[in-house]
Amino acid sequence: MSFLNQLKSQATAAQSQEAALLQSLEENTVQTESACQAVWYYMGDLAKQLGVIGPAGPKFSLDGKTSWPDMKLVNFRADTRKKKLRDREVYDTITMGWDIVPKVGPPGPGVLSVAFSPDVEQIEKRLTFGHVAYEREDQRHRETRALKTVNFAYTTQARGNLTVTADHDKRVLVFRLANVNGFEISSSTWPADNVDDDVLDQLAKRIVAQPNWFV
């Protein structure tokens, strides 16, 4: 076989591999889009129902010791974002957010004093990703100016959210949940083929702090 014919064979093989890869990616995209559409319809309907019910929230505490009042989940809203992928419009993210407020009465003031630096960092992270309005006041030793305690003045209102991110090439959906079991962030990756009503029911149970096997 001449060298030119060898190159032709290599080019044909490369084209075949590329075609097979594109076909595989297209199949992954179709299945991922189907799963995204199912999630979007489910979340849109779920937001409407939970907005009427106003379910009870989980127990909240910034330091694991000082408990917030009993909370409830309100003001549910769902949204979606699209993107371009290989010249077609596909789902990028599906989100649902809600407010976390006291079960009785309006949000009220709270104060927390913390003495140790690691605890300070942890509490400030929880306040931040919980979208809690707060003010920080550092108390220092008069002579050494070393940090003694940190006072956090906050309002007992937070936000929870779900973000579903589609990875079409890998054929998976990544679910990120914030503040569904107190102040925490968790994530779970599901194959698009496995995302059905049973899985989404488990997700809904997790959002309203009921026993579930979603994560």
Is a pLDDT exceeding 70 seen at residue 109?
yes
Q: Specify the pLDDT at position 145.
A: 67
Q: Quick one: angle between helices 197-207 and 3-53, nearest 10?
A: 50
Q: What is the mean pLDDT of the chain?
A: 92
Q: What is the tens place of the pLDDT at every residue in 166-175? A: 999 999 999 9
Closest Cα partner for 208 from 88, 54, 91? 54
Mean pLDDT lowest for which of 18-22, 49-53, 64-68?
18-22
Mean pLDDT of 64-91: 94
Mean pLDDT lowest for which of 28-32, 112-116, 127-131?
112-116
Question: Looking at the DSSP assignment, which residues form a beta bridge with residue 80?
Answer: 94
Mean pLDDT of 26-55: 96
Percent of all residues in the chain with a pLDDT value above 70, rounded to a whole number: 96
Instruction: Work out the number of other CB atoms within 10 angstroms of the CB of residue 42.
Output: 21
d(CA 174, CA 160): 17
On the CB side of 211, how many CA atoms lie within 13 Å of its CA?
0
Phi, psi of 136, deg, nearest 5: -110, 135
Q: What is the tens place of the pLDDT at every residue in 185-196? A: 999 999 999 999
Between the alpha carbon of residue 176 and those of residues 78, 150, 173, the distances in Å are: 14, 30, 10
Is a pLDDT exceeding 90 seen at residue 86?
no
Between the alpha carbon of residue 167 and those of residues 7, 65, 147, 153, the distances in Å are: 35, 39, 45, 40
pTM, entire model: 0.86
d(CA 183, CA 62): 7
Is a pLDDT exceeding 80 seen at residue 25?
no
Is a pLDDT exceeding 90 seen at residue 83?
yes
Closest Cα partner for 79 from 54, 98, 99, 97? 97
Mean pLDDT of 18-36: 84
Copy the structure tokens of residue 127.
């306040």
Is a pLDDT exceeding 90 seen at residue 44?
yes
DSSP 8-state secondary structure symbol assigned to residue 68: P
Instruction: Work out the number of other CB atoms within 10 angstroms of the CB of residue 108.
Output: 12
d(CA 91, CA 81): 6
Closest Cα partner for 180 from 153, 150, 148, 214? 214
43: pLDDT confidence band, cut at 50, 70 and 90? very high
178: pLDDT confidence band, cut at 50, 70 and 90? very high
CA angle 185, 191, 195 (to 5 degrees): 85
Q: Specify the pLDDT at position 202.
A: 97
> What is the DSSP pairing of strand 88-102 with strand 158-167?
antiparallel
